[in-house]
Amino acid sequence: MCGVAGIFSLTGKPIKDAQDRITRMTRLLDHRGPDHWGVTVTGDGLLALGNTRLAIVDPEARPDLPLVSETFGESVDSYPTLTHLALDTVAAL
The DSSP letter of residue 14 is P
H helices, E strands: number in the chain:
2, 5
Contact 18, 48 (CB under 8 A): yes
Q: What whole-number distance in Å separates Cα of residue 49 and Cα of residue 40?
A: 5
Q: What is the pLDDT along the chain (93 residues), one digit of tens a residue?
A: 688 899 999 999 999 999 999 999 999 988 887 888 889 898 899 999 998 888 776 666 666 666 555 444 444 454 566 666 667 666 665
pLDDT value for 31: 85
pLDDT value for 2: 81
pLDDT value for 72: 41
pLDDT value for 20: 97
Contact 30, 5 (CB under 8 A): no
